């Protein structure tokens, strides 16, 4: 399995300092069996913000810990609050993909134990936010885009900047950390291009060490 991803794009583009893009590093087809298995065990669901609003996109998790939003705040937890069972294990292929993508961009020994799975239908968006619920901010985040395209927005150090926008397609992988670890970012899908298998659905895997 070690060469599953290594024959693909090993030439990252640095979008801004410490944010790297690997175009077409993987594709939905390679990961679909594992994704279907995880989602069967822990179906996508809409979570609620601490302010009581329903999030725009549905989510699930796999790995030792899963990210949840609820009225008491944002947390990483070992059990799926819907089923009360542990989150599904992180598939070996997912772990390898994240490790290899991180290593290519100089983040050696990345060993993620949490994978948040976001699901978008066309028009659903993720508002500008920072990822800051992780205890060790020296660890990078690896993010895999699958399915329909999306417009990824990079705002920088405040959400009030005009964002740099980049279109992400099936199999694109973003890796970021160091000076960029806390930048604001968001996602829009109103102009998405459909994917041959997933149609107007997008799945995003974000790998973290927490
Ligand atoms: C998404 N991604 O692409 C959402 N966060 O659907 C993120 O929020 C994200 O891509 C931190 C690092 C990379 C990301
Ligand atoms: Fe994020």
Burial of residue 140, with CB atoms counted within 10 A of its CB: 0-12 exposed, 13-18 middle, 19 or more buried: buried
- pTM score, whole prediction: 0.95
pLDDT recorded at residue 38: 98
| Contact in structure between 168 and 174 (CB atoms under 8 Å) | yes
Tokens matching residue 134: 């992780």
Q: Residue 13, exposed/middle/buried by CB under 10 A (0-12, 13-18, 19+)?
A: exposed
pLDDT digits (tens, 9 = 90+) for 106-127: 999 999 999 999 999 999 999 9
Contact 49, 39 (CB under 8 A): no
pLDDT, tens digit (0-9, with 9 covering 90-100), for 19-59: 999 999 999 999 999 999 999 999 999 999 999 999 999 99
* Structural domains for the chain: 13-208 (2.60.120.590)
pLDDT confidence tier of residue 8, bands split at 50, 70 and 90:
low
Judge residue 77's burial from the number of C-beta atoms within 10 Å of its C-beta, 0-12 exposed, 13-18 middle, 19 or more buried. middle
Site to probe by mutation for ligand 1, drawn from 114, 142, 143, 186 as the one with most ligand atoms within 8 Å of Cβ, is 143
Q: Which residue's CA is minimally distant from atom 3 of ligand 1?
A: 204
pLDDT bracket for residue 7 (50, 70, 90)? low
The mean pLDDT value of the chain amounts to: 95
Q: Is the pLDDT of residue 1 over 70?
A: no
More confident residue, 135 or 66: 66
**CA-proximal residue: ligand 1, atom 6 (nearest):** 204
pLDDT at 4 over 90: no
């Amino acid at each position: 399995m070690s060469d599953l991803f290594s024959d693909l794009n090993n030439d990252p583009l640095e979008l801004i300092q410490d944010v790297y893009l690997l175009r077409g590093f993987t594709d939905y087809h390679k990961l679909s069996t594992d994704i279907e298995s995880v989602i069967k065990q822990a179906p996508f669901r809409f979570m609620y913000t601490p302010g009581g609003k329903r999030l725009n996109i549905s989510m699930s998790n796999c790995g030792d810990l899963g990210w949840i939003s609820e009225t008491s705040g944002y947390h990483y937890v070992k059990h799926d609050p819907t089923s009360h069972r542990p989150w599904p294990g992180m598939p070996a292929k997912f772990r390898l993909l994240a490790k290899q993508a991180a290593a290519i961009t100089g983040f050696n020994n990345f060993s993620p134990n949490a994978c948040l799975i976001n699901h978008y239908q066309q028009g659903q968006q993720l508002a500008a936010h920072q990822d800051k619920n992780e205890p060790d901010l020296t660890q990078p985040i690896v993010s895999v885009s699958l399915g329909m395209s999306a417009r990824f927005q990079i705002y920088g150090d405040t959400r009030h900047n005009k964002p740099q926008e980049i279109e992400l397609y099936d199999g694109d992988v973003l890796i970021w950390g160091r000076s960029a670890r806390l930048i604001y970012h968001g996602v829009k899908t109103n102009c998405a291009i459909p994917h041959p298998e997933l149609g107007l659905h997008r799945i995003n895997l974000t790998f973290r060490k927490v």
